């Protein structure tokens, strides 16, 4: 396996693992919880390393998971006490735990190759436990194993608890009446987020692993209403942006994790603008279509109300429309154009006449 292939595979595995655990997180509106957990795993990770007296995969994972769950517990306790709102609770708990982590690092790993800057930087990708750097051939495969394992674990979790997750996410009351424990599922999902973040941040850093967890499912949620499609799209987007980001970073010689996040952001922006049903452009077009349709409806109602009266000849003149309805000329032309297109009106020189269809529409509209 060449170095480049190993790195590309790690990028693929990381983004897949993250996207898998992100879907339900987004559906449960817990995106910022992922951000909080990604920081607050630090003290647990350090405690795990202290216990094993050095970087160790198993104790690190256990410690990190424990402090991830502690975060969730603390936030819930504070919120339930009704003294602090949830956003404020998250905003205070994760920095506190992160600060504790930095404190533990200085206390116990000062003799390791740790310059004070690395702590002040406060970003985990600079931390001494980052054994794996993109481009480091020797450790690449090991990280690949961990992350592939996480893909399997996350996929299994989704597969086994799919029904439970689905029901408890979309209809918590039904879930409770069916006898699932929402909090057990909640904490399992959070534990999964913690484990995935630990695995991912050795590869892409804490904040960028959050990008991989939340951006693909958020984007997918703009594109589909179906849960299964959403999972598939998240995976696809995570994987393709992971690979694209990696190659772009190699070409431009910049940070791989940063480039992956940037690629994700670009894909998100595309979906936000161009999504077929909920994209910004689709919304604008829909609104415009509704506006012109409304004009055409006004036109047929106007024509119908004067049909058969002695003013009909005068009222159906195009210029008169402009004068009486106070429509600017272009608007009148547009309404007439749409009316003709829909087969509601026909134009004889400067006179307008309703068709059968137009009369029917006018009746429907005026009853509305």
Partner 1 sequence: MSILQDLIFDYTLRNVALGCMVLGIVSGVLGSFAVLRRQGLLGDALAHAALPGVCVAFILTGLKTPVALMIGAAASGWIGLLAINQLLRRSKIDSGAALGTILTVFFGFGVVLLTVIQKSSAGTQAGLDKFLFGQAAGLVEEQVLTMAILSAIALAIVVALFKEFKVVSFDSEFAQSIAIPVHLIGSILSFLLLIAIVVGLNTVGVVLVSAMLVGPGAAARQWTDSLKTMIFIAALIGTLSGLTGAILSVTGSKIPTGPVIVLVLSAMVLISVLFGKARGVVWAALRSRRRHLAESAK
Q: Which residues pair with 354 in a beta bridge?
A: 345
The CB-of-75 to partner 1 minimum distance in angstroms stands at: 11
Q: Are 261 and 216 in contact (CB under 8 A)?
A: no
Nearer to partner 1, 239 or 264 (CB): 264
Q: What's the min distance (Å) between Cβ of 206 and partner 1?
A: 9
Rounded CA separation 200/194 (Å)? 10
Degrees (nearest 5) of the Cα angle 358, 363, 368? 125
Please give the residue ranges that form the binding site for partner 1 (CB under 8 A): 26, 29-35, 39, 78, 81, 83-85, 87-92, 94-96, 98-100, 102-103, 106-107, 110, 116-117, 119-123, 205, 207-208, 210-211, 214-215, 218, 221-222, 249, 253-255, 257-262, 264-265, 268, 272, 278, 280, 283
* Cβ neighbour number for residue 19 with a 10 Å cutoff: 31
**Which lies closer to partner 1 via its Cβ, residue 40 or residue 148?**
40
Smallest separation (angstroms) from partner 1 to the CB of 351 = 43
Name the burial class of residue 32, with classes exposed (0-12), middle (13-18) and buried (19+) by CB atoms within 10 angstroms of its CB.
middle
Alpha-helical regions (H) of 127-181? 140-160, 162-170, 172-178
Measured from the CB atom, the residue of 153 and 248 that comes closer to partner 1 is 248
Residue closer to partner 1, measured from CB, 194 or 264: 264
Phi then psi for residue 179, to 5 deg, are 95, 15
Q: At closest approach, how far in Å is the CB of 240 from partner 1?
A: 16
Q: Which residues of 220-243 are buried (b: 16+ CB within 10 A; e: fewer)?
A: bbbbbeebeebbebbbebbbbbbb
Query: Between residues 30 and 151, which has the closer beta carbon with respect to partner 1?
Result: 30
Least Cβ distance, residue 282 to partner 1 (angstroms): 11
CA separation, residue 205 to residues 58, 177, 333 (Å): 19, 41, 58
Write down the least CB distance from residue 9 to partner 1, Å.
Answer: 21
User: CB-wise, 213 or 332, nearer to partner 1?
Assistant: 213
User: Would you call 89 exposed, middle or buried from its count of C-beta atoms within 10 A (0-12, 13-18, 19+)?
Assistant: buried
Which H or E run includes 135?
Answer: none
Minimum CB distance to partner 1, residue 48 (Å): 19
If the CB atoms of residues 105 and 338 are measured against partner 1, the closer one turns out to be 105
Q: Write the DSSP symbol of residue 84.
A: S
- The nearer residue to partner 1, 246 or 327, going by C-beta atoms, is 246
**End-to-end C-alpha distance for the chain, whole angstroms:** 69
How far apart CA 130 and CA 124 sit, in angstroms, is 8
Least distance from partner 1 to the Cβ atom of residue 299, Å:
31
């Amino acid at each position: 396996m060449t170095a480049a292939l190993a790195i590309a595979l790690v990028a693929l595995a990381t983004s897949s693992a993250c996207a898998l655990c992100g879907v339900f997180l987004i559906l449960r509106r817990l995106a910022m919880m992922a951000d909080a957990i990604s920081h607050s795993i630090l003290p647990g990770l350090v405690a795990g390393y202290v216990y094993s007296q050095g970087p160790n995969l198993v104790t690190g994972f256990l410690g990190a998971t424990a402090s991830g769950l502690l975060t969730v517990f603390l936030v819930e306790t504070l919120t339930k006490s009704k003294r602090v709102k949830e956003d404020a609770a998250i905003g205070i708990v994760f920095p506190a735990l992160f600060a504790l982590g930095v404190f533990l690092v200085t206390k116990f790993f000062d003799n390791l190759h740790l310059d004070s800057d690395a702590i002040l930087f406060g970003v985990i990708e600079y931390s001494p436990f980052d054994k794996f750097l993109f481009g480091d051939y020797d450790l690449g495969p090991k990280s690949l194993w961990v992350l592939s394992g996480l893909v399997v674990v996350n996929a299994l979790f989704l597969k086994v608890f799919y029904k439970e997750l689905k029901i408890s996410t979309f209809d918590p009351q039904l879930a409770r009446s069916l006898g699932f424990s929402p909090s057990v599922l909640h904490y399992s999902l959070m534990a999964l987020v913690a484990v995935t973040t630990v695995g991912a941040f050795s590869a892409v850093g804490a904040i960028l692993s959050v990008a991989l967890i939340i951006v693909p499912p958020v984007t997918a949620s703009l594109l589909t209403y179906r849960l299964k499609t959403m999972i598939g799209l998240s995976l696809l987007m995570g994987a393709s942006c992971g690979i694209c980001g990696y190659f772009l970073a190699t070409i431009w010689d910049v940070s791989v994790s940063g480039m992956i996040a940037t690629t994700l952001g670009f894909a998100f922006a595309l979906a936000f603008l161009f999504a077929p049903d909920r994209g910004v452009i689709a919304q604008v077009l829909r609104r415009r279509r509704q506006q012109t349709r409304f004009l055409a409806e006004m036109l047929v109602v106007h024509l119908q109300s004067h049909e058969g009266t002695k003013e009909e000849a005068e009222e159906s003149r195009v210029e008169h429309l402009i004068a009486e309805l106070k429509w600017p000329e272009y608007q009148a032309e547009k309404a007439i154009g749409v009316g003709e297109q829909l087969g509601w009106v026909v134009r004889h020189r400067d006179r307008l006449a309703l068709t059968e269809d137009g009369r029917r529409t006018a009746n429907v509209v005026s009853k509305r």
